[in-house]
């Protein structure tokens, strides 16, 4: 257990910044009272943890609005080891903001990150016919410029598209809410730490791995996946990535249902370690959606214990032989 | 090690008799100095072991000339438990014998077991055109009658077809050797004992199992076999048998390469115990052909030990969490 | 449809004889009005069909009382081609018969085939304490001797154990019915013909195959079985058999659910032909139990037709490229 | 073949712009003489093709420096159908440029896209200790500003990091070449068109698919992949993506080796169409690396033709039944 006296200060969280991004929204869910350290990119955020300048990092891992997903997968697995200790889901909802007094019909240019623009373009075109995009380095950046400048002429845009959670903090006026084209979209973020601590099993957990295949024939992927199937472990994410050291060799980034403390997950890891040239354990942590893992028949800890006991009984005879 | 004082008497071996059968040839390979107890059928031979009236039994398990294979598989797995502790291969070669003075051209009828006849018919037809079969209950039975009677008229046959190894013991004259149609055929026998002792691992071993499938859909057999494949354990024999208690449910009689003492075999058993409603361990024993088991990459005991150690290291962190 | 004028005579059926065996019971179910040709063994019965001396043969294929199963599997697949055109299930039930006037308590010896004895021993021992077995070459043979001789002294036995269906035909008196130890046991027989005609699809069919594996590594069997699983075809029987031409190579004798006319079976055969060095089609025929095949989602003929049409549509573009 | 008269004008290629990006480098490889239409994001580029405003689009699909990969996968599969007709590999190499007269030691701030910065940070820190990043919306944007302004004070940065192929076009001076931290990194781009034409088979092809799994149990992914394995079709990329319409349902974006014209690919598509609730064919096209597909034993067009002919022969008998 962590000693309160040993860590009197708030924990330091690096995140893909600046303030106002969806990654900050994720961070606010996880550790609202922590010291927030905005970073320009995922690699910098993770390196801050590696060097001990931050205690943890929050970075996007899937379906990100502002990018960073491939970078996250690669940055996690190169350099000093890191582990995932949690995940957060953030609903992706956008708000159109402007300086007080601006009317919707006054808007001709909207500053925002290109990915944000892509997700709201259809709705904005209906709201403000003829509206155009002015790229910004983040959703927060455009709003910041609107606040700093009082003369619209200098800026070349009248409104900014920002993450819903950050609208109030900008001090700007909301022209339209929920302007995303696809309602209900969600982005997944992970909380990353230095190795050493695995969050306790909750019964609704994920385990993240990186696995190399030894060769690329049609059976190699099946052979690897059979290690999961033989123990009833389901995958919720799999992505192949070229290893880069030779043609035709692949690494697989995998999220599996279950926790290192589950016997079926441990048995799968043992199997993977035997048949794959490289296996990296990247953490077991509670699922953000808290959906309990479905435990297939014969894959509970009890089933493993009973099977081990049976074989141990059979093998007892061996010592006397 | 067995104590000579505790068992001063020779071991008693029940076998599928009578004397002169191929099963006796198998027994002579395994335990020539034992007390031989001929039995009329496989079930009786196995029950003699179950009741302690014999120490071991030798019975055919595959490709038998005189039958008993299905009976052996079923008899092994019903009733009090038994285990296989060894296997023997016997070359199937036949000799045509007759009373002294009989010439090949005198032979019109040959007494022997129908399976023996079936395996020599072609050769005999070439040697003695028009020769006919007179069924006997075993290969030895016909020869015994020839010895007992001195008047051929009473018998209705002039020659007997016997196992090559038993020809000399009959005291009859050999008219033709190697009369089997297929040269080099081999039958497999097993040595069966009461449970408790598993022969030591030799590196060239087999493990015999009976496994039930829970259901009969197209994937159930694959699911069961994946437990073997996931640990690189090869099968040298598999036979489905209807369980009999319900339609569409199957048991599988399996010989797998390797020994209970092999980690990959133990891990396979653990997996089978979890996913199958019933698993019966029927013994690990040296292969008759002494061919060392091929150990696939990542399936050696060392590979298992390294994988276990790795996962144990990862789990060490759990205790502190 | 067969032309009555072209085949005026009754069909000739070879079977594993003599009259009175369970194989004859199977034959009586299939073709009661046919010419019955008893044969001393399975090979002779099948060869009679090969030579055109019989039109069809009925032989045991599974769980036989009087043997012949391995012989059947091997004899079907060596020599000129044959196909299975039907199967029959026969309930295995035994009756104890004796000459009129014999009482149960008079019986000291029972003549019958050893496998029959093995299946009734327990019940007989309770009915007639101390009763003993006298081997006969078939269940019918002992009864025949009882009929022929009127002096029990000459025979050395007082009763015979015969197949239930044949008891009346012996003309002997029934001492006890249903004396088998295991009630409800069933043996399976097949009807074999020369190739050329496949019985029409009924929706409750089996297809019998012999398949060779190219090598014996742990994945070869799975690779072969995936051809079935990928098309949702279930197996009701699988038996490995050493090919015999080289160590470690196996043939698999397989009964699969479905008919050659089913698209999923045809697709499986195409797959097997590609990946296995040898595939022998041994017939599609109605199941004896008439249980309709379960057709998994996506494996109906309609699903195949829809999938073929879709790919044909995609490929239409290729011709213009 | 395309008719020169029917299309007198150069083809119009939309791409992830602006000029100077790595996507433009990909476009220059594919269609140097085409009309280049820079687009602010992947969705806009693809929609330009959908609406007929561009003939084709070049967008990043894997390992992109400037993002857009997830966007590309999603944008390809939502909206009106599109197909991939080619792929291009671009070596990722960066150059540090500045206004003439600037020395390396003068540089304190470098403007570039954050992903580009992330890939060169280490090298730049060694070359110019203390150097800092100023984010730009693309690698090209920073260089453009340097060209437009002659007073460095106004800009706040002295140098820009640009794609190697675009350095000369900027008119700026090269301060350092090959400043990427990882030498030899490659990004993959695809050429996208409206459906209707599939590039001819070359023997070194890829086929891109989107496949839904019906459920998320541990076997569903294996079941889907068996359709590939059963025909010896290898995967070079697989990525799971939540479908979004219900919890626990996944789509898989897949690149498979081979071409729609290959029988093994067509057979795989037929299998997928049967067992998966949704399969989207996204094109067959030549591999950028021109590596011929390895054709496993039994998976050539000839092997398929022979297998089809064999089964057709067996089925010929059915018509007469």
Q: What is the pLDDT of residues D114-157, one digit of tens each?
A: 778 878 988 999 999 999 887 777 788 889 888 887 654 567 78
D174 to each of A199, D101, D146, D159, how far by Cα in Å? 50, 10, 13, 10
- The pLDDT, as a whole number, for residue D51 is 97
Contacts 24+ apart (CB under 8 A), B291-294: B291/B204, B291/C247, B291/C248, B292/B203, B292/B204, B293/B203, B293/B204, B293/B205, B293/B234, B293/B257, B293/B258, B293/B262, B294/B234, B294/B257, B294/C217
**Candidates B71, B217, B244; nearest CB to C234:** B217
Residue D63: partners with Cβ closer than 8 Å, 6 or more residues away: A70, A242, D69, D185, D186, D187, D188
Mean pLDDT of the residues in chain A: 87
CB contacts, 8 Å: D196 with chain C: 317
| Of residues C272, D131, C301, A230, the one with CA closest to residue B267 | A230
Distance CA(C41)–CA(D24), nearest Å, equals: 80
% of chain A with per-residue pLDDT over 70: 88
- The pLDDT, as a whole number, for residue C175 is 97
Is B132 part of the contact surface with chain C (CB cutoff 8 Å)?
no
Distance CA(D56)–CA(D53), nearest Å, equals: 9
- The pLDDT, as a whole number, for residue C320 is 47
CB contact residues (below 8 A), chain D span 56-95, against chain A: 62-64, 67, 69-71
- The pLDDT, as a whole number, for residue B65 is 60
- The pLDDT, as a whole number, for residue D239 is 86
Between A and D, how many CB-CB pairs are < 8 A?
A: 121
pLDDT in tens, chain C (321 residues): 444 455 557 899 999 888 888 999 999 999 999 999 999 778 889 999 999 999 999 998 876 565 556 678 888 888 899 999 999 999 889 999 999 999 999 999 998 887 788 789 889 999 999 998 877 777 888 898 888 876 545 677 899 999 999 999 999 999 999 999 888 778 889 999 999 889 999 999 999 999 998 766 667 888 899 899 999 999 988 888 777 665 567 889 999 999 999 999 999 999 999 999 999 999 999 999 999 999 999 999 999 999 999 999 999 977 544
Residue with tokens 């081997």: C135
Question: pLDDT: is C319 or B134 the higher one?
Answer: B134
Mean pLDDT of the residues in chain B: 87
Categorize the per-residue pLDDT at A118 as very low, low, confident or very high, splitting at 50, 70 and 90.
confident
- A100 pLDDT more than 60: yes
Question: pLDDT: is B241 or D255 the higher one?
Answer: D255
- B320 pLDDT more than 50: no
Residue of B nearest to C249 (CA): B236
- The pLDDT, as a whole number, for residue A133 is 82
Q: What domains appear along chain A, each with residue ranges and CATH number?
A: 12-92+186-193 (3.40.190.10), 97-161 (3.40.190.10), 205-286 (3.30.70.260)
Least confident of A13-22, A153-162, A174-183, D301-310: A153-162
- A3 pLDDT more than 80: no
Q: Which other chains touch chain B, taking contact as 3+ CB pairs less than 8 Å apart?
A: A, C, D
- The pLDDT, as a whole number, for residue D244 is 63
What ipTM did this prediction achieve?
A: 0.87
- The pLDDT, as a whole number, for residue B118 is 77
- D192 pLDDT more than 90: yes
SS3 content of chain C, % helix, strand, coil (to 5): 35, 30, 40
CB contacts, 8 Å: A136 with chain D: 137
Please name the helix (run of DSSP H) or strand (run of DSSP E) that holds residue C162, with its range, or none. Answer: strand C159-163
Residue A157: partners with Cβ closer than 8 Å, 6 or more residues away: A108, A109, A110, A111, A134, A142, A146
Q: What is the pLDDT of residues D227-283, one digit of tens each?
A: 999 999 999 888 887 776 555 678 899 999 999 999 999 999 999 999 999 999 999
Distance CA(C279)–CA(C252), nearest Å, equals: 10
Whether the ω angle into residue C18 lies within 30 degrees of 0, i.e. cis, is: yes
- B52 pLDDT more than 70: yes
- The pLDDT, as a whole number, for residue B151 is 52
Q: What is the least distance, in Å, from the CA of C208 to any CA of chain D? A: 13
**Candidates C199, C304, C318; nearest CB to D274:** C304
Between A and C, how many CB-CB pairs are < 8 A?
A: 3
Least confident of A311-320, C18-27, D176-185: A311-320
DSSP codes of every residue in C92-126: --EEEEESTT--GGG--EEEE-HHHHHHHHHHHHH
Q: What is the least distance, in Å, from the CA of A234 to any CA of chain B? A: 15
- The pLDDT, as a whole number, for residue D224 is 92
Least confident of A3-17, A233-247, C198-212: A3-17
CB contact residues (below 8 A), chain A span 219-238, against chain C: 219, 223
- Helix (H/G/I), strand (E/B), else coil: D283: strand
Q: What is the least distance, in Å, from the CA of B309 to any CA of chain D? A: 26
- The pLDDT, as a whole number, for residue C243 is 73
Residue C220: partners with Cβ closer than 8 Å, 6 or more residues away: C213, C214
- D67 pLDDT more than 60: no
Q: What is the least distance, in Å, from the CA of C103 to any CA of chain B? A: 26
- Helix (H/G/I), strand (E/B), else coil: C246: coil
Are the beta carbons of A223 and C223 separated by less than 8 Å? no
Q: Which residues are paired to D133 by β-bridges?
A: D110
- B216 pLDDT more than 80: no
Categorize the per-residue pLDDT at B2 as very low, low, confident or very high, splitting at 50, 70 and 90.
very low
| Of residues B69, B269, C132, D176, the one with CA closest to residue A306 | B269
- The pLDDT, as a whole number, for residue B1 is 43
Least confident of B164-173, B234-243, C205-214, D280-289: B234-243
């Amino acid at each position: 257990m962590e000693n309160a006296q040993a860590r009197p200060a708030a924990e330091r969280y690096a995140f893909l910044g600046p303030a106002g991004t969806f990654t900050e929204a994720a961070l606010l869910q996880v550790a609202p009272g922590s010291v927030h350290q905005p970073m320009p990119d995922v690699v910098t955020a993770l390196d801050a943890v590696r060097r001990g300048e931050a205690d943890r990092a929050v970075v996007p891992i899937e379906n990100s609005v502002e990018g960073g997903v491939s970078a996250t997968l690669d940055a996690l697995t190169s350099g000093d080891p890191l582990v995932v200790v949690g995940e957060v889901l953030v609903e992706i909802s956008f708000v159109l903001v402007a300086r007080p007094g601006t009317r919707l019909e006054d808007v001709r240019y909207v500053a925002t990150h290109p990915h944000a623009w892509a997700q709201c373009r259809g709705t904005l075109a209906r709201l403000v016919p003829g509206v155009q995009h002015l790229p910004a380095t983040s959703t927060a950046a455009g709003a910041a410029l609107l606040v700093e400048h009082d003369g619209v002429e200098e800026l070349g845009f009248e409104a900014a598209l920002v993450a819903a959670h950050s609208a109030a903090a900008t001090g700007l006026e909301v022209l339209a809410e929920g302007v995303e084209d696809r309602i209900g979209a969600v982005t997944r973020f992970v909380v990353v730490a230095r190795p050493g601590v695995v969050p306790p099993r909750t019964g609704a957990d994920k385990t993240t791995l990186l696995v190399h295949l030894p060769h690329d024939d049609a059976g190699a992927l099946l052979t690897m996946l059979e290690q999961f199937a033989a123990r009833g472990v389901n995958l919720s994410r799999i992505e192949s990535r070229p290893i880069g050291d030779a043609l035709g060799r692949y690494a697989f980034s995998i999220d599996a249902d279950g926790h290192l403390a589950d016997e079926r997950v441990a048995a799968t890891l043992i199997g993977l370690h035997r048949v794959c040239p490289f296996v990296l354990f990247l953490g077991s942590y509670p699922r953000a959606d808290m959906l309990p893992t479905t435990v297939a028949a014969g894959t509970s800890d009890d089933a493993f214990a009973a099977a081990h006991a049976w074989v141990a009984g059979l093998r007892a005879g061996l010592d006397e032989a």
